[in-house]
Amino acid sequence: MIRPIAMLVGAFFVGALLWAIVKTPLTNEVDKMKAFHLEPKELHLASDGPFGHWDTAQLQRGLKVYKEVCAACHGLGQVAFYDFKALGYDEDQVKAIASSWPIQTATINPDTGEAATRAPIISDKLPQPYLNEVAARAANNNAYPPDLSLITKAREGHAPYLYSLLTGYRNPPANLPEELRPSGPLHYNPYFANLNIAMPPPLTAEGQVTYDDGTRATVDQMAKDVTAFLVWTAEPKLATRHAYGWAILGFLLVLTTLAYMSYRSIWADKKH
């Protein structure tokens, strides 16, 4: 009886030792990453808070940044062209925007060997930049660019994280351990979870896009504008929800007041 128990105890300690050997380097590496990881910067958008609303001028600028910079790799599969009416565009303007975004089809153009395209209509969802995940990975060193429709909700830190990530690219610090330094196609960004991200800096210089309203297109401004736009794609009904919420609160306040006044009127002369 003693021998089996001793074997079990011995096996337990051997397993604990192996676990410690396997986990210790990983734990140490995570601790090293935390020492260099930065929390998201502060970001204040018009849509923040219970009185949040959309700054349509900023959203239009953000759409321009997305279209001219981000759309080459990242899709917006949950957004249709007609949704852009909410950004202050009329139907003709939406059609003009859609016309510059040809829709790829599953057929192959026999003359070029490439995917055939068709003219979009405003009820179409925005086209994906790649036909499938295999093509996306092949074009991005095996990294898969995520769809951005819900990105500000899908990532911890939300909009401030995205803004920080876009403006956070820099050279690795001199004291960064060798095992944490970016290699190959990776780029150092202290706002990214493991410090090294496959996406190269998308916003690299002032004037990378030209804003129609004359706003100076600094890297910081472009990052704020596209972040605001992606907050809208993730929750386009936010302003309407806020308006309904305040209307409902007002209704409940009036109803509560009337109910209390009725109570006082009916029971004022009643004795307990």
Quick: pLDDT tens for 26-35. 456 567 778 8
Instruction: State the amino acid at position 30 in one-letter form.
Output: V
Mean pLDDT over the full length of the chain: 86
Q: Tell me the CATH number at 194.
A: 1.10.760.10
Task: Check residue 147 and give its pLDDT.
Answer: 95
Q: Residue range 244-250: average pLDDT? A: 84
How far apart are the C-alpha atoms of 43 and 162, rounded to whole Å? 10
Tokens of 223: 């990052």
Annotated binding site for heme c: 70, 73-74, 199
Residues of the chain above pLDDT 70, percent: 84
What CA–CA distance (Å, rounded) separates 173 from 168? 13
Q: How far is CA 30 from CA 33, 143, 193, 239, in A?
A: 5, 22, 10, 40
Q: Taking the model in full, what pTM does it have?
A: 0.81
| Domain assignment present for 100 | no
| Tokens read off for 66 | 């997305």
Six-digit token string for 146: 């995520």
Residue 33's pLDDT is what? 76
- 189, part of any domain: yes
Please indicate, yes or no, if residue 261 is contained in any of the structural domains.
Answer: no
**Is residue 4 situated within a structural domain?**
no
Q: Write out pLDDT tens, residues 58-76.
A: 999 999 999 999 999 999 9
Task: Look at residue 207 and tell me if it is in a domain.
Answer: yes
Domain assignment present for residue 120? The answer is no
Domain that holds residue 163: 37-79+144-254
Q: Closest Cα to residue 165, out of 141, 146, 183, 138?
A: 146
In a domain, 84, yes or no: no
- Residues 159-176, mean pLDDT to the nearest whole number: 95
**pLDDT level of residue 103 (50, 70, 90 thresholds):** confident
- Residue 3 belongs to a domain: no
* Rounded Cα distance, 52 and 241, in Å: 10
Domain count of the fold of the chain: 1
Binding-site residues from annotation = 70, 73-74, 199
Confidence of residue 265 (pLDDT cuts 50, 70, 90): confident
pLDDT tens digits, one per residue of 122-145: 999 999 998 889 989 999 989 999
